Chain A
């Protein structure tokens, strides 16, 4: 069987690319190294409790929102049910030492009011900042995947860092702390991240914060069902080991580690750009391009602890709202002490930035026990230390889990004695699941001054998609597919499809 397109990697971007290509009438096969599709966003069940892996919440999922429309375009919106996060407090930021305790409410107006109430002297900068976030986002590929962005035009959008915008708008102190906390969601510091990338991420959350009923797992199911309906063939346990070329040097097919070979006219690679380079004969790309891709900076890594807890009603933690609520549908960011770099990866586990997600019951199904994910950013470089024995490694994981559990118990005593560690993921685990050489959480960074690879490559009929090419997160991954398929079939055709399906005028 010869395909029109082979897609390397069945993550969100790979599946999205495949679905769109099938929409345009191509025969497509998806090759995924893991045992199931989209392993990054598929959660897992341990001892009867569902845990999220690489998907905790999304912005822009409100009806007609940018992510909602993208999912419609993929033909999966109807199979998914949105579950809104806490309306008044989806993200709560707490700095125990300074007493900072602020909750992000959903919607720009509510957020603007809440910030102005907390920082009356910075009313002007707040309005300007929120206005700038909305304005910049409107010019991004999310809203205009048809605009045929070139690497140079994207670089022009990415000139200014988040930190520079803070300085320009005289945003300082605790306000700045609050507005930069979401950098954790893509693992790049305020001094490095282009303001436009940050704006694209937070704009969605400022509008609405939600997940799907059934969590990341429900999204994977919906995507796989759409593949079946569209006739996309999905091959799991197919780790691509080589890109094969014709005698004339054109793309011919893919060889897999399991010995299978598939032929096709074209290919879309959605894996880590450095991993992609390793599959292609050196002669294909110029040394300068290989060097650029190999030099792409990696996002932060993390220690991730998965915990289970009997669901209980909590007090309002001293926040402004005074009702007691269930923690489900909330995130907490516990910040290191004032004056410390927010994202400092080398602080001890009891002092480091701690992100807690309570959405993991898979859309708040009312289960008796709730899965909690705790993420603590770590440096992404591989530690040079001597190889650990398996025993020492396992022992280390137990210690990490216990330290983090103790810290959470102290911070949220409401959780009570029922809080237990289920398992721990370290940099090594991430290296394995992400195939990222440095164990980074989100693959490569989007960074001021850096050119991430474009969809088109020098190898004709070989295209790139994935969060590394366009923007981070679920939305970045889907947008990257829209841009790659636009390069393939013509951006005007993708735009026509968008208008037809999404009816957004």
Chain B
């Protein structure tokens, strides 16, 4: 799966699962201020992303650094690539 494909998969799924506004899905959008998520949503975001990409991020320190939608994309792409390498 290419990076672009991952990004679009992630966006589609966040829009549906969190009822987000499609037009707000730009990479510099801040997840709390612009997308309207709150700290309680983080668990569900982890569940969705783990299921979607078959990765494990729940205990990752990097999770705390996430501020923007772009951060999410970079974070999961890195994780996905790590998982793929580990599986090889």
- Which of B30-50 touch A at CB < 8 Å? 38, 40-44, 46-48
**Shortest Cβ distance from B50 into A: residue:** A449
A286 and B44: CB pair below 8 A?
Answer: yes
A155 interface residue (CB < 8 Å to B): yes
Q: Mark B57-77, 1 if CB is under 8 A from A, else 0.
A: 011000100000000000000
Q: How far is the CB of A252 from chain B (nearest CB, A)?
A: 21
Q: Is B17 an interface residue (CB 8 A)?
A: yes
A332 adjacent to chain B (CB < 8 Å): no
The reply on A345 being an interface residue by CB < 8 A is no
Q: Does A287 contact B (CB under 8 A)?
A: yes
Interface-side segment among A184-192, A374-382, A421-429, A450-458: A450-458
Cross-chain contact of B42 among A152, A159, A286 (Cβ < 8 A) = A152
Contact B46 A289 (CB under 8 A): no
Within 8 Å by CB of B43, from A287, A291, A451, lies: A451
- From known contacts A152-B59, A155-B59, A156-B59, infer whether A454 and B18 are also in contact, taking CB-CB under 8 Å: no
Taken together as a complex, chains A and B put the C-alpha atoms of A291 and B46 apart, in Å, by 14
Inter-chain CA distance A151–B43, complex, in Å, is: 7
Tell whether A287 pairs with B40 under 8 Å between CB atoms, given A152-B46, A152-B58, A152-B59. no
| A151-B43, A152-B43, A451-B43 known; A288 vs B59 contact (CB < 8 Å) | no
Task: Report the separation of the CA atoms of residues A151 and B58 in the bound assembly, to the nearest whole angstrom.
Answer: 10
Interface residues of A in 273-325 (CB under 8 A from B): 286-289, 291-292
Interface residue B88 (Cβ < 8 Å from any Cβ of A)? no
Q: Residue-by-residue, is A425-462 near B (CB-CB < 8 Å gives 1, otherwise 0)?
A: 00000000000000000000000000100101110000
* Cβ contact within 8 Å between A286 and B43: no
B16 in the interface, Cβ–Cβ < 8 Å? yes
Closest to B64 in A: A152
A457-B40, A458-B38 given; A288·B58 CB < 8 A: no
**Residue total for B at the interface (Cβ-Cβ under 8 A):** 16
> Which residues of B lie under 8 Å from residue A286 when comparing CB positions?
17-19, 41, 44
Q: Within the complex, which residue of A151, A155, A287, A456 is in contact with B19, where a contact is CB–CB below 8 Å?
A: A287
Whole-angstrom distance between the Cβ of A293 and the nearest chain B Cβ:
10
Instruction: Report the nearest B residue to A286, measured CB to CB.
Output: B18
Most buried by A among B16, B38, B43, B48: B43
CA distance A151 to B59 in the complex (A): 11
Inter-subunit contact A156/B58 (CB<8 Å): yes
State in angstroms the CA–CA spacing of A354 and B16 once bound together: 46
A454 in contact with B58 (CB, 8 Å): no
Cross-chain contact A288 with B40 (CB below 8 angstroms): no
Contact A292 B44 (CB under 8 A): yes
Which A residues, 26 to 47, have Cβ-Cβ distances below 8 Å to chain B?
Answer: none
The chain A residue with its CB closest to the CB of B48 is A288
Give bound CA distance, A287 to B47, whole Å: 13
Tell me which residues across on chain A come within 8 A of B16, comparing CB atoms: 287
- The residues of B that contact A289 with a CB separation of less than 8 Å are 44
CA distance A456 to B41 in the complex (A): 11
Which of these, B18, B38, B63, contacts A288 with CB under 8 Å?
B18
For residue A291, which residue of chain B has the nearest CB? B17
Distance of B31 from chain A, by nearest CB (Å):
14
**Cβ contacts under 8 Å, A451 to chain B:** 43, 46-47
User: In the complex, what's the smallest C-beta–C-beta distance from A333 to chain B, in angstroms?
Assistant: 35
A175 vs chain B, min Cβ distance (A):
31
How many angstroms from the CA of A156 to the CA of B58 in the assembled complex? 8
Min CB distance, A458 to chain B, in Å? 6
Q: Are A454 and B46 in contact (CB under 8 A)?
A: no
Question: Is B17 within 8 A of A288, CB to CB?
Answer: yes
Chain A residue at minimum C-beta to C-beta distance from B17: A288
Bound complex: CA A103 to CA B68 (Å): 58
**Judging by beta carbons under 8 Å apart, are B17 and A159 in contact?**
no
Those of A159-175 within 8 Å (CB) of chain B: 159
Give Cα A289 to B42, complex, Å.
11
Within 8 Å by CB of A159, from B43, B46, B59, lies B59
Interface positions of B from 1 to 41, Cβ below 8 Å from A: 16-19, 38, 40-41
Q: Given the complex, which residues of B lie within 8 Å of A152, measured CB to CB?
A: 42-43, 46, 58-59, 63
Chain A min CB distance to B43 (Å): 4
Give the Cβ gap from A373 to chain B, nearest Cβ, in Å: 37
Q: Which residues of A contact B41 (CB under 8 A)?
A: 286, 288, 458
Nearest chain B residue, comparing its CB with the CB of A289: B44
CA distance A287 to B13 in the complex (A): 11
Chain A window 140-158, contacts with chain B (Cβ cutoff 8 Å), 1 for yes, 0 for no: 0000000000011001100
**Would you give 7 A-B contacts (Cβ < 8 Å), ordered by A?**
A152-B42, A152-B43, A288-B17, A288-B48, A451-B43, A454-B40, A456-B40
Residues on A close to B: CB < 8 A?
151-152, 155-156, 159, 286-289, 291-292, 451, 454, 456-458
8 extra A-B contacts, CB within 8 A, seeds A454-B40, A456-B40, A458-B38? A152-B46, A152-B58, A286-B18, A286-B41, A288-B47, A289-B44, A291-B17, A458-B41
